[in-house]
Each structure stands twice: as structure tokens, then as C-alpha cells.
A and B are shown apart, each in its own frame.
Chain A
Amino acid sequence: MLAFTLRRAIQAIGVMIAVGVIAFSMFRFAGDPVNQIVSMDTSAAERAAIRQSLGLDDPVLVQLGRYFANAAQFKFGVSYQFRLPVADLLKERMPATLELAICATILAMVFGILMGVYSALHRDSLLAKILQAISLIGISLPTFLIGILLIYLFSVTLGWLPSFGRGEVVRIGWWTTGLLTISGLKALILPSITLGLFQMTLIMRLVRAEMLEVLRTDYIRFARARGLTTRAIHFGHALKNTLVPVITVAGMQFGLVIAFAIITETVFQWPGMGLLFVQAVQNVDIPIMAAYLLMVSLIFVTINLVVDILYTVVDPRLRSTISRPV
């Protein structure tokens, strides 16, 4: 088990190094960093001085090594537009994005699984058919449109919920949270729904399909022949078997939720990392873009690792294959 986790961790580090090389090469191919920093009337001598102080004269490999060494200590350089360390900017923005992503994922998991189980067990009921139809809308409508529609309905027309921002936030150490104030919670509702809707419908459809598959298996038939209660069969035997693929998808989706919070954050002017990234793209702020790339891939790789370990918790068959490596 430990060996398996270690092996996966080493693979993860390999992926991170590859992403790091890509992030680093962005600096070299997306224009001259010095030009991004200085103003038009900076003299050539000053430019050369800046170039030297940033270490841009050194051989590429030395620069790459330095980049990795810094990145490992979460030093991603200084943002061109804000003149502040990128790490500080990300640190400031991260709580907003993570709170949004976690809320959206919990929303998607809870309702997705409930709706999926319901529509599998009561396949022919009217509600199940309505849920199927709604899930099609959720899967096919683009996120920004859903966000705008929700703002129009709940903020503009009904005036119940704020249309942008995080509301009041409370600071706990360096972490800022909107979960402890009423306005913060209210501000969280619409973006969470917008961000989680696609995931929710995806999970619902997946759970439904998997559950229908599992209900046809021999061990469910045998469980019925043993006279177990319907409740025990559906929620004990069937649901647990359904969850293995759901864990994979939900894990991958959590990564996607963080990475693609960009759109939702833009629509709701949510002060998270996604919004920061969009501004960075507009201003060719390469340090932020590169750091964002590294951040997102780190999140993905971590989630993958967690998902792999979770599998073995759910499915005992994997545990024994892992303990006997081929």
C-alpha cells in the first residue's frame, strides 16, 4: 500500500516537472520579459541592468534550474501588472476560488447522487423523466449563459441575491472566508449553482447509468433471493458498487471546477484565482499565467493521487492487487 502510494507520488512529481518546463518556456516564447516591465523611455543601459538583475543573461538550463528551485518554494516571481509577488496574489485569491469550488462540488455530489439514485430506482416515474430532461439542459447549456440567466432571475428580477462579488468576508489568519457572514453565504449561492450545475447533471447521469447496470447483476439478484430489505439492497449493495466510477469522475471534476472557475468568476466578478488569470491574460502577465498553470496541474495531480487511494478504500479487490505488485 505504501509502495503503491509512493510510486504514484513519484509519477505525480514527473508530471509536475513536465508542466514546470512548459510554464518556464512561456517566459522565453511570449515576448521579452524586460519589455513588459520597463516603460517606453527606459534607456538601454537600464534595460541591461534589469536583465542582469533578473538573471535573464544566464544560460537557459541555469534559468530553468533556478525557476524550479523558486517554484518549489512557491516563489513565482513578480507580477508585471501589480508589481507584487505572484505567490502573494495567488494566496490572497485562493480562498475565494476554493470556497466556491468546494461548495459547487458538494452541491453537485449530493444532489447528483440523490437524483441519480432516484431516477435509477424509479425509472418510469414522471419525476425521473423530468430530471432526465433537466439534466440534458444542464449538460448542454454553457456555464456563462446559466450564470447570466440566474443573475437575471434572482438578482435583477426578484432581487433576492447579489449579482456579483463575495459579500462580507471574515479573515482567519491569511484565509478569508465568506462562509461566516449572511451576505457572504448569499453571494455564494448563485456562483455555486452556476459552477456546479454541469457537474451535478453529469454525476446524476453517471450514477443513474451505473446504478441501472449494478441492479442487473447477479449479486443483487442473489441479495433479493436472500430476502434482504429493498433499502439494504439499494443503498447498501447497489449504491456502494455504483460509487467506484463516480469517485473517479467526481475527482476529475473537482479539478476541472477549480480550473474552469474562470468563467463563473468572470460572470460574477468573483475575486478568485480565475478572475486573476483572466486579467493576467489580458495584460500578458506571464508570471501569473505560469504560476496559475503550475497551481492547476498541482491540484489535478493531487486529486488523482487521492482518487487512486480512495479506490482502494472502496474496492477490496484493488487492495490485494496493489499489495502484490506485478
Chain B
Amino acid sequence: MTEPVLSVRNLQVEFVTRRSTLRAIDGISFDISKGEVLGVVGESGAGKSLTGLAVIGLIDPPGRIAGGEIYLSGMRIDNLPPEKMRRIRGKRIGMIFQDPLTSLNPLYRIGDQLVETIKTHLNLTESAARRRAVDLLAEVGIPAPEKRVDAYPHEFSGGMRQRVVIALAICAEPELIIADEPTTALDVSVQAQIISLIKRLGRDHGTAVMLVTHDMGVIAETSDRVAVMYSGRIAEIGPVLDVVQNPLHPYAKGLMGAIPTLSGDAARLVQIPGSMPRLSAIPPGCSFNPRCAFAFDRCRIERPEQIKHGTQAVACHLYDAAAKDTAA
């Protein structure tokens, strides 16, 4: 078996405040293989963006990685000194942020920003770096790249700017791309283009992609596997078709039920009652239990661990019982 590009083991992220320590990510584990797209989905505040930032080593104080390990192609990266981690950022891990309008420095030509990044990571001359910049712009689908390379960010539309951002993220051929809500700020028609671009780049270069979004449609279209996050934990993870068509975790069921369909069979969309707990008030046991229709006593006391269930893995006591029943 080949080594996964990214392997996260029992990752914990904490925010230390004057009063208390808040645990924003509480022991999550997942792998992404070469060429695979892992979608990470969940409500705002579930910790999906934070997971991406933890992997690339950009969690700002007072946040910190409190435990667990992160491996990039077998090399542990969560405890690297800052200078070594900087050399990995942009070179081996590329990141795409949500808002292309604010991701680019308005005062520099996009060519200069590309050349600067390329020269930071690759040992190229100025002219070679510039040629590469033009090639990259062509690859991400910017028309007339040899002309546009000298344009400023404000001379591009939102979708085109996100293409530039993607070009910046892939300019050193990273093994892993973390895309943090890459389409949220874009028009729907542009969204599809950006999604297919990310998908194509992942396929062409064999890049592993971690796609963070709250849009199930985007996940279904792009991802090979999906991880559903809820209040800092992975509720369910598995192949995207299985999770979408046959969600196991009550939260994942609720999430899929909340997607409108064109056929319009259901009269009303199902909604999950209540809202995600604040970090300072996570209930004991399963953090979803106050909102869960199937909760029983054990859910209020004991925190469920991930259980393998077919191709999927789910953190829910319901399936523990089921597993025992079938075993007995």
C-alpha cells in the first residue's frame, strides 16, 4: 500500500484564553492519498477551516496544536521549526483561500507575485520564473497570459482572480492543495469552472486535495471521499457516494436531508433542530446528543469513537450496538 500524501492522527487544536482553554478540534484523524480529493464539510465553526490551517501550520496565537501528529508523505510536519515549515508552505502544500478579491496584494502585478513565489521555492532565474508564471496562468485558464501577467489584481474579475490564486498555490507543484471554501465568494456559474479546474489540476498532477466547504453540491461533484465534521470532530467519513446516498450518522442524515432536490419530492426540507454548541459549552458524551433524535443514555455519558461500517467510518453509538448485535 502506498503511503498517503497527508495523514492526520488524533489532531487537537486549542485556543488558550485568559479564562479557559477551548478545544476547537478534538482528536480528528484522516488520510488523503495521491490524486485523491477529500471533501471536508460541516457547519460554520465545526473546525473545517481550522483543520486546513493546522495542516499548513498557520494557526495564529492564541490557537495552537495541542496534540496529535500530521504527516506529509510520511514526514512529520506538525512539530517543525517555523523556518522549515515555511519552506514546506507553498512548495509542498499549496493553499487557496475563500475570497479571491482580498487574497492578492493590490499593489503588486500578479506576475510579480507569481515570480516572487516561484523564486522563493524553486531555484530559477528571473526570466525562467517569469516564463513559468506565464505557463501557470495559461494552465489555470487565463486568456492571453503573456499580456495579463503584467496586470494588477483589480484588473481581473473575481473568478479570474481565483484562477490566479490557484496558479499561485500550485506554482511549485505541491503534493497537497488545501482549498478553503474556494468557491463560496464566487458566482454560481464561475463556481463550476473553478471546481472543474481544481479537479483537473488534481488529476493531471496527481495532487492530493483537501477541499473545505459547506456546500454539499460542490463536494458531491468534486470529491472522492468526504469527511463530515461536527463541533471539532469527524462525525462520519467515507466515499462520497456512500455518504451522500446512505449517511449513517444522524447529523450526516440531517445534513443530506437539508439539501433541496430538483425533483421536489419532499414538501419541506428537513432541518436539524437547534444549533451547534459553543466551544465553551460542549455537552458531555456525544456533542451532537442534544440535537439527536436517536440519542439514548450512553450518548449523554460516553463519547463515541469512530467505528468502521462498510466503506464508511462513523462516530456514533448506534452503530456500535449494531456491530455487536451482528457479531453476537
Contact = CB atoms under 8 A, between A and B. Distances in A.
A218 B107 contact: no
Contact of A317 (B89, B106, B116, B165): B106
Interface residues of A, number: 23
A129 interface: no
B97 interface: yes
Interface stretch (A20-28, A85-93, A192-200, A227-235): A227-235
A223 interface: yes
A315 B89 contact: no
B104 A219 contact: yes
Contacts of B99: 218
Nearest to B92: A227
Nearest to B112: A236
A232 to B, nearest CB: 7
Contacts, number: 78
B232 interface: no
A174 interface: no
A156 B242 CA distance: 87
Nearest to B109: A316
A227 B105 contact: no
A320 B89 CA distance: 34
Interface residues of B, number: 30
A225 B86 contact: no
Contacts of A237: 105, 108
A124 B133 CA distance: 39
A229 B120 contact: yes
Interface in B102-126: 102-109, 116-117, 120-121
Contacts of B32: none
B84 to A, nearest CB: 11
Contacts of B302: none
A229 B119 CA distance: 11
Greatest chain A CB density within 10 A among B107, B108, B120, B154 is at B107
Contacts of B87: 227
Contact of A228 (B97, B120, B155): B120
Contact of A219 (B89, B95, B106, B117): B106
Contact of A232 (B104, B116, B154, B165): B116
Interface string A216-257: 011101111111111010001100110000000000000000
22 contacts: A218-B97, A219-B106, A225-B56, A225-B58, A225-B90, A226-B89, A226-B117, A226-B168, A227-B86, A227-B87, A227-B89, A227-B90, A227-B91, A227-B117, A228-B116, A228-B120, A230-B86, A232-B120, A236-B116, A314-B107, A320-B154, A320-B155
Given A219-B106, A226-B120, A227-B86, 14 more contacts: A218-B97, A218-B99, A221-B97, A222-B95, A222-B104, A226-B117, A227-B87, A227-B117, A230-B86, A237-B108, A241-B105, A241-B106, A316-B106, A316-B109
